[in-house]
Homo-oligomer: A and B are copies of this chain.
Amino acid sequence: MNEADNIIELGESTVAGAQHAAEQSKPKKYAAKKVLAIEAAAKVFAEKGFHGATTQDIAQAMGIQQGSLYYYFKSKEQALQEVCEYGFDVYVERMKKICAKNQPFEAKILAIITSHLTNYSQKDSAMKVHNEQRLYLPLERRSRIKQLGTTYRELLEQTLEQGIDAGVVRDDIDTHFIAYSIIGICNSWGANLIRDESLNLFETIEQCADLILVGTVNK
């Protein structure tokens, strides 16, 4: 696949970073409200899609006036970008830690899926927005997202290769294909988790891991 577009990609947390020149010196007030802004945008984009959402919707979700939104985002597009990046470097860090740990393959897969789906039920909409709306961003705005997504996928592929080396994983699989498939399943169930509150997070995690590891047919 020439473009790593179906994967989770992470960016440096914009809030922690220094988007505004003065951001670091600004009292926590700005930073705090900026987080609220991103979360409001995430929620609205998740519900209505990028083009279906209006800046008015976002402002309203924050409890401010439409014009005031531009104190936090230079444009609607930048809001999308920041939502997509939101929380992602934290996420990829977690992935790195999981992969670095010395534990059996099955445990790692379970940890990865847990990390992925837990993120969905916590960060809510940001993840969904990332998966479904980031393609509406112009290419320049996607570079950081892309890069971290690649990192994520490669970590997953390495884990699969280690599983093969350890003799746990079938040596005839295509690690690239399986990595994408795992991400696909997780995203699919992640969206379901957001949509349907009656779903049980931990059951879903276990069932996903079971499907990926063991498949459906008797041995």
Contact of A217 among B3, B50, B213 (CB under 8 A): B213
Let me know if A139 is at the binding interface, CB within 8 A: no
Contact A217 to B106, CB < 8 A, known contacts A5-B195, A52-B51, A192-B6: yes
Contact size class for A? Answer: 35 or more
Let me know if A174 is at the binding interface, CB within 8 A: yes
How long is the Cα–Cα vector from A198 to B208 in the complex, in angstroms?
28
Least distance between A50 CB and chain B CB atoms (Å): 7
* Chain A interfacial positions (CB closer than 8 Å to B): 1-3, 5-6, 48-52, 105-106, 132, 136, 160, 163, 167-170, 173-174, 177-178, 180-181, 183-185, 187-189, 191-192, 195-196, 198-199, 204, 207-208, 210-219
For the complex of A and B, 9 pairs with smallest distance between CB atoms: A184-B188, A215-B215, A51-B51, A219-B219, A51-B52, A1-B196, A214-B215, A177-B207, A213-B217
